[in-house]
């Protein structure tokens, strides 16, 4: 009887994995695209796109710098696409 909760928990975990596994990549890519879009909003002023919330997003720039670097690498750009802004 004591082993039943353990087996039940394992069964639930397997069921969750069965649900998640086929589309894990697609969901993670969709989330990554949303996060990339937010990151681009944060850096939009550097690209010449006015950002009405720049006073607030300015303090997020150091936090998202790694993400910016990761993004331009994934886009196939060896270095930052912005001449006046270098991350690597």
User: DSSP of 29-52, one letter per residue?
Assistant: HHHHHHHHHHHHHHTGGGGT---T
- Using the rule CB under 8 A, is 29 a contact of other proteins? yes
- Using the rule CB under 8 A, is 15 a contact of other proteins? yes
> Which residue shows structure tokens 């270098």?
86
**Residue 14 burial by CB count (10 A; 0-12/13-18/19+): exposed, middle or buried?**
exposed
Q: Which of 5, 6, 22, 50 binds other proteins (CB under 8 A)?
A: 22
- Using CB under 8 A as the binding criterion, the count of chain residues that bind other proteins stands at 18
- Using the rule CB under 8 A, is 1 a contact of other proteins? no
- Using the rule CB under 8 A, is 9 a contact of other proteins? no
- Using the rule CB under 8 A, is 14 a contact of other proteins? yes
For residue 49, give the 3-state DSSP assignment.
Answer: coil
Chain residues in the site for other proteins (CB under 8 A):
12, 14-19, 21-30, 32
């Amino acid at each position: 009887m004591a082993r039943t909760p353990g087996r039940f928990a394992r069964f639930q975990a397997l069921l969750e994995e069965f649900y998640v596994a086929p589309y894990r990549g697609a969901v993670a890519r969709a989330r990554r695209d949303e996060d990339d879009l937010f990151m681009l909003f944060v850096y939009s002023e550097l690209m010449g796109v006015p950002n009405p919330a720049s006073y607030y997003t300015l303090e997020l720039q150091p936090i998202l710098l790694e993400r910016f670097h990761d993004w331009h690498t994934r886009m196939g750009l060896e270095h930052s696409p912005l001449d006046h802004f270098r991350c690597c």
